[in-house]
Structures are given as structure tokens and as C-alpha cells.
């Protein structure tokens, strides 16, 4: 865990002042329920990582039959997601938290999306990865803005620990056929589902 001195904290204070009127951060406003927003963010992200693990698991499964040369990359992505899953779970347990209500929905949804996308071939896989990871990175940025606003430095560290990997997954998909025009409707559906489970988890 990184140590934050007064200097770092004052930078966060300035950053939070700058973002107080930021609509993006307001999407993650103070929770009205008895579970605080930071904990909800961690739980939603943890459930999302479970979904991501299952996307790649299904894609590896299908690719093993149809496109073996494609599986090493998918397995590397799966390992990233398993590491992320562990990072969030550790922080949730430190806060005496439990799994998100959307945990199994994410797992099932993730596996289904991964399976269907892999049947559509490489472009389907890449479109799915781009769609999921683009929504995820947008939310991680908003979460960071919110968490900096409230000064939850441990949660900031956990989100920052995964952000770069997710951006990498998104950018690989973007550069490698993920934006094929024929897959526009598929990307739209995957983005809607991803956005939906995040919102459901945060309620
Ligand atoms: Fe992840
Ligand atoms: Fe990812």
C-alpha cells in the first residue's frame, strides 16, 4: 500500500475541488442506503471482474475448438481478470463486505457474451472485448473522480491497480478488428448489458 503524505493529500484536495461540479463524478454520489458508496463501487467492480473472467473463460473454451492460435492472448487476459478479482475481494474483505447482488448475474452474463462472441469469430471476440472494456474504463475514471472527492485512498489504489490493464484490453481490441462496422449492433448490446449490470449493482 502506498503512503500518502500531506503533499499527496493536498493534491487530491485540489483535484476534488476541481471536480465537485463534475457531472461524471455525480453519477457516483453519496449513497442513501446503509452501504457506503466506496464499498458499493468495490463490490460492483469485483462482480464485474467475475463477469470478465467468465467472458474470457468461454472465449478460451470456444477458441480451443475453432481458433487455437487465438487462445494464448485470451488466457493472458483471463489471468489479468483473475488477478483483478483477487485485488477487489481482498479490499472488500478488509472492509467486512460481502459479494455484490449482481455477482452471479455478471458471471452468467459474462459467460454467455463470451460464448456468443467467440462463435462469431475473432471480430466478435474483439468487438465484445472493446465494448465491455470501454464501458468499464469509463466507469473506473468516474469512480476515481468520486473517490478522490471523498478521499478514500485505499479504494483509489485498488481501482488504479487495474485501470491500466483494462485500458490495454480495450486498446488491443480497438487496434485488432474490434471496431468492425458489421459488429456495431453487437457492440451496442454488449455495452448496454455491461452498463445495465453496473447500474443494477450500484442501486
Ligand atoms: Fe478486470
Ligand atoms: Fe479487462
Instruction: Please tell me the number of the ligand nearest to residue 77's CA.
Output: 2
Please say if the pLDDT value at position 3 is more than 50: no
Return the pLDDT at 26. 65
Please say if the pLDDT value at position 186 is more than 50: yes
Strand (E) or helix (H) holding 39:
helix 37-66
Q: State the distance from the centre of ligand 2 to the C-alpha of 166, rounded, in angstroms.
A: 4
Domain boundaries defined on the chain: 36-202
Strand (E) or helix (H) holding 82:
helix 71-94
Neighbours of ion ligand 1 (CB under 5 A): 49, 52, 81, 84
pLDDT digits (tens, 9 = 90+) for 134-146: 999 999 999 999 9
**How high is the mean pLDDT of the chain?**
88
Query: 169 with 27: CB under 8 angstroms?
Result: no
Neighbours of ion ligand 2 (CB under 5 A): 52, 166, 169
Query: 159 with 45: CB under 8 angstroms?
Result: yes
Q: State the distance from the centre of ligand 2 to the C-alpha of 198, rounded, in angstroms.
A: 15
Q: State the distance from the centre of ligand 1 to the C-alpha of 100, rounded, in angstroms.
A: 16
Q: How far is CA 109 from CA 43, 60, 74, in A?
A: 17, 16, 18
Here the contacts of 183-186 (C-beta below 8 Å, separation 24 or greater) are 183/120, 183/123, 183/124, 183/127, 186/117, 186/120, 186/124, 186/127, 186/128, 186/131
Question: Which residue shows C-alpha cell 455525480?
Answer: 26
Could you tell me the three cell numbers for 164? 491500466
What distance in Å separates the CA atoms of residue 52 and residue 146, rounded to the nearest whole number?
23
Q: State the distance from the centre of ligand 2 to the C-alpha of 137, rounded, in angstroms.
A: 9
Return the pLDDT at 22. 54
- Superfamily of segment(s) 36-202: Ferritin, core subunit, four-helix bundle (1.20.1260.10)
Return the pLDDT at 33. 61
pTM over 0.75: yes
Q: State the distance from the centre of ligand 1 to the C-alpha of 103, rounded, in angstroms.
A: 14
Instruction: Please tell me the number of the ligand nearest to residue 128's CA.
Output: 2
Q: What percent of the chain has pLDDT over 90?
A: 77
3-state helix vs strand vs coil in the chain, percent to 5: 80, 0, 20
Q: State the distance from the centre of ligand 2 to the C-alpha of 89, rounded, in angstroms.
A: 16
Grade residue 10 by pLDDT with cuts at 50, 70 and 90.
very low
pLDDT digits (tens, 9 = 90+) for 28-40: 876 666 569 999 9
pLDDT digits (tens, 9 = 90+) for 16-30: 444 434 566 667 876
pLDDT digits (tens, 9 = 90+) for 74-121: 999 999 999 999 999 999 999 999 999 999 999 999 999 999 999 999
Grade residue 12 by pLDDT with cuts at 50, 70 and 90.
very low
Q: State the distance from the centre of ligand 1 to the C-alpha of 78, rounded, in angstroms.
A: 9
Instruction: Please tell me the number of the ligand nearest to residue 49's CA.
Output: 1
Instruction: Please tell me the number of the ligand nearest to residue 82's CA.
Output: 1
Q: Which residues lie below 8 Å from residue 23, measured CB to CB, with a gap of 6+?
A: none
Q: What percent of the chain has pLDDT over 70?
A: 84
Please say if the pLDDT value at position 13 is more than 90: no
Return the pLDDT at 29. 74
Amino acid at each position: 500500500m502506498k503512503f500518502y503524505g500531506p503533499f499527496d493529500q493536498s493534491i487530491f484536495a485540489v483535484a476534488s475541488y476541481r471536480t465537485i461540479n463534475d457531472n461524471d463524478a455525480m453519477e457516483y454520489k453519496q449513497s442513501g442506503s446503509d452501504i457506503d458508496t466506496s464499498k458499493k463501487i468495490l463490490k460492483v467492480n469485483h462482480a464485474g471482474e467475475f463477469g470478465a473472467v467468465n467472458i474470457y473463460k468461454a472465449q478460451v473454451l470456444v477458441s480451443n475448438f475453432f481458433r487455437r492460435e487465438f487462445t494464448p492472448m485470451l488466457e493472458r487476459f483471463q489471468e489479468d481478470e483473475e488477478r483483478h478479482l483477487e485485488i477487489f475481494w481482498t479490499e472488500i474483505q478488509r472492509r467486512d463486505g460481502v459479494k455484490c447482488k449482481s455477482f452471479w448475474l455478471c458471471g452468467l452474463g459474462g459467460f454467455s457474451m463470451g460464448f456468443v462472441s467467440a462463435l462469431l469469430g475473432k471480430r466478435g471476440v474483439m468487438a465484445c472485448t472493446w465494448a465491455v472494456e470501454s464501458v468499464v474504463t469509463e466507469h473506473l475514471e468516474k469512480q476515481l473522480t468520486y473517490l478522490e472527492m471523498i478521499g478514500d485512498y485505499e479504494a483509489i489504489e485498488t481501482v488504479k491497480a487495474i485501470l491500466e490493464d483494462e485500458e490495454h484490453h480495450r486498446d488491443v481490441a480497438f487496434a485488432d478488428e474490434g471496431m468492425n462496422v458489421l459488429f456495431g449492433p453487437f457492440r451496442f448490446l454488449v455495452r448496454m448489458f455491461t452498463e445495465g449490470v453496473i447500474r443494477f449493482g450500484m442501486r
